[in-house]
A and B are shown apart, each in its own frame.
Chain A
């Protein structure tokens, strides 16, 4: 089972570190990271494996959301099924 974490907001030191920190705390394995900084806007999409997750998905979502609030970023954590079903026939 995989999920997609998207992070959008003003660039700052240590965003990737903090987001992946939460992942490792919860047993979430990072598979792929796409990241770009346009002027001072930071955008990152992270594909993660949640099969070995030590918490339930709702907790991961809540922790990521509150991390986002703390850092002034918008962080969305969504199950990959929503993207697969919407964009693939």
Chain B
């Protein structure tokens, strides 16, 4: 039965506490678009995306009206393009990026993810060419996102790919230096990438997924913070219970929207990603949740413990609320996209080292971190390797999205605007890891007994 308190609570969450559906993402398989003629393949890609997702934005808007909840992004994820590029080895894969951009423009979606390659064990046909084309692809398109998986718990870390990605991240930032290095913000390097992630920039549609499906990513850090603020003297396990209950409510909304979108679009419902995804807006910060728990500022001692509890409670509450949970599911900590993280980084309290520790207990990884423009490709590779090692050993997804701020030094700010926010240039170590990175080869997969 409906009661007044519940109705007002829902409205308050949406109006005052920034509750929204962060994204509905349609996953589309492009395996049936493979062709040895790249122009034909691009045409098939365009036609398939437009035929499947032509209505996506309209359906999203209709659901927003029906339920009165904002759906911030409508997105598409596709089969890793390296698999299509493999069939046309003599052509520039950027043609695919342009075809995706055309499809994004026609459908009116915010992003298409999947300019991707999976190279955790080694490069197959198409992979290296695609990776080398990433800087150009992200330069000449606006709404295309790229990701590369360079490691996994089962296969170890491909250090040749790690070395290459250090160079690619840097080159991507340089090619888009006149646009605040935005290219690098659309490029993620993964360990243990998931196949059904609805969030950008790392979304792609895995080969184990159906032909077409719809995923939902929820948000709501502001709702969690507001719920905690009502219990200033609660113990930690009481806080965990409050977070679970709140995550349940947030996720139910995701489940409802996903089921409705699947019905209206006539495609199967994929997953709900149980995430706390912050935005730079006031009141929509994961860092502020940690501070509400009792830290003077995010990044100080105790941050990792608070985040571990938050991440776990979000999952426990969310799992109960949805029949199909997947994606990255957990709290995100993208520095430039979170008002509290930005403040903590500017104050020097939140460091790269602390962020690395935090990624061991929460969703994803070193996300939207601005580093000095003069950072060497080897240092970027080494940061990627460190982060991938955390993911590999702990059997979790980790990722790196670094933005080398061309021409900027430690302490200066890089402004992206919109959902990507702004970030201070954070210091990196000045001692070189070049010899380690240049060795190449593979870090063997870890063993999973004798755990210590």
Q: Do A and B bind each other?
A: yes
Residues of chain A whose beta carbon lies under 8 Å from any beta carbon of chain B: 4, 6, 34, 45, 47, 57-58, 61-62, 76-87, 89
Q: Are A87 and B256 in contact (CB under 8 A)?
A: no
Among residues 43 to 91 in chain B, which have CB atoms less than 8 Å away from a CB atom of chain A?
Answer: 62, 65-69
Instruction: Say how far B294's CB is from chain A's closest CB, in angstroms.
Output: 28
Among residues 1 to 58 in chain B, which have CB atoms less than 8 Å away from a CB atom of chain A?
Answer: 2, 4, 6-11
Instruction: Say how far A33's CB is from chain B's closest CB, in angstroms.
Output: 11
From A6, A57, A79, A89, B7 is in contact (CB under 8 Å) with A6
Taking A47-B2, A81-B256, A86-B252 as contacts, is the C-beta distance between A58 and B65 under 8 angstroms? Answer: yes
CA distance A80 to B7 in the complex (A): 9
Judged by a CB distance under 8 angstroms, whether B153 is at the interface is no
Q: Are A86 and B249 in contact (CB under 8 A)?
A: yes
CA distance A47 to B1 in the complex (A): 11
Residues in B whose Cβ lies below 8 Å from that of A76:
11, 68
Residues in B whose Cβ lies below 8 Å from that of A83:
2, 6-7, 10
Taking A6-B11, A78-B67, A79-B67 as contacts, is the C-beta distance between A34 and B6 under 8 angstroms? Answer: no
CA distance A76 to B65 in the complex (A): 10
Instruction: Say how far A63's CB is from chain B's closest CB, in angstroms.
Output: 12
CA distance A62 to B256 in the complex (A): 22
Taking A4-B2, A80-B2, A81-B256 as contacts, is the C-beta distance between A87 and B249 under 8 angstroms? Answer: yes
Max chain B Cβ within 10 angstroms of own Cβ: one of A77, A86, A89? A86
Judged by a CB distance under 8 angstroms, whether B253 is at the interface is yes
Instruction: Say how far A84's CB is from chain B's closest CB, in angstroms.
Output: 7
Residues in A whose Cβ lies below 8 Å from that of B256:
81-82, 85-86
Among residues 215 to 229 in chain B, which have CB atoms less than 8 Å away from a CB atom of chain A?
Answer: none
Instruction: Say how far B362's CB is from chain A's closest CB, in angstroms.
Output: 25
Report the nearest B residue to A2, measured CB to CB: B2
CA distance A55 to B353 in the complex (A): 57
Q: Are A82 and B10 in contact (CB under 8 A)?
A: yes
Residues in A whose Cβ lies below 8 Å from that of B62:
58
Q: Are B7 and A4 in contact (CB under 8 A)?
A: yes
Instruction: Say how far B445's CB is from chain A's closest CB, in angstroms.
Output: 41
List 29 interface pairs A-B (beta carbons < 8 Å), by A numbering: A4-B2, A4-B7, A6-B8, A6-B11, A34-B4, A45-B8, A57-B65, A58-B66, A61-B66, A61-B68, A76-B11, A76-B68, A77-B68, A78-B10, A78-B67, A78-B68, A79-B67, A80-B2, A82-B67, A82-B69, A82-B253, A83-B2, A83-B10, A84-B2, A85-B253, A86-B6, A86-B249, A86-B253, A86-B256
Chief secondary structure at chain A's binding surface = helix
Residues in B whose Cβ lies below 8 Å from that of A79:
66-68
- Considering only CB atoms and an 8 Å cut-off, how many residues of chain B contact the other chain? 20
Max chain B Cβ within 10 angstroms of own Cβ: one of A58, A76, A87? A87
CA distance A84 to B7 in the complex (A): 9
Q: Are B66 and A45 in contact (CB under 8 A)?
A: no
Max chain A Cβ within 10 angstroms of own Cβ: one of B68, B69, B256? B68
CA distance A47 to B320 in the complex (A): 28
Instruction: Say how far B258's CB is from chain A's closest CB, in angstroms.
Output: 11
CA distance A79 to B320 in the complex (A): 23
Residues of chain B whose beta carbon lies under 8 Å from any beta carbon of chain A: 2, 4, 6-11, 62, 65-69, 249, 252-253, 255-256, 320
Residues in A whose Cβ lies below 8 Å from that of B252:
85-86
Report the nearest A residue to B253, measured CB to CB: A86
Instruction: Say how far A56's CB is from chain B's closest CB, in angstroms.
Output: 9
CA distance A66 to B6 in the complex (A): 25
CA distance A83 to B256 in the complex (A): 10
Taking A6-B7, A45-B7 as contacts, is the C-beta distance between A81 and B2 under 8 angstroms? Answer: no
Report the nearest A residue to B9, measured CB to CB: A87
Instruction: Say how far B245's CB is from chain A's closest CB, in angstroms.
Output: 11
Instruction: Say how far B364's CB is from chain A's closest CB, in angstroms.
Output: 26
Max chain A Cβ within 10 angstroms of own Cβ: one of B7, B67, B69, B249? B7
From B4, B67, B68, B253, A45 is in contact (CB under 8 Å) with B4
Instruction: Say how far A72's CB is from chain B's closest CB, in angstroms.
Output: 16
Residues in B whose Cβ lies below 8 Å from that of A34:
4
Residues in B whose Cβ lies below 8 Å from that of A61:
65-66, 68
Report the nearest B residue to A34, measured CB to CB: B4
Q: Are B67 and A81 in contact (CB under 8 A)?
A: yes
Instruction: Say how far B190's CB is from chain A's closest CB, in angstroms.
Output: 32
Given contact pairs A58-B66, A79-B67, A82-B10, a sample of 6 additional A-B residue pairs in the complex whose CB atoms are under 8 Å apart? A4-B7, A57-B65, A62-B65, A76-B11, A78-B10, A82-B67
Q: Are B66 and A57 in contact (CB under 8 A)?
A: yes
Residues in A whose Cβ lies below 8 Å from that of B320:
89
Q: Are B69 and A85 in contact (CB under 8 A)?
A: no
Report the nearest A residue to B256, measured CB to CB: A85
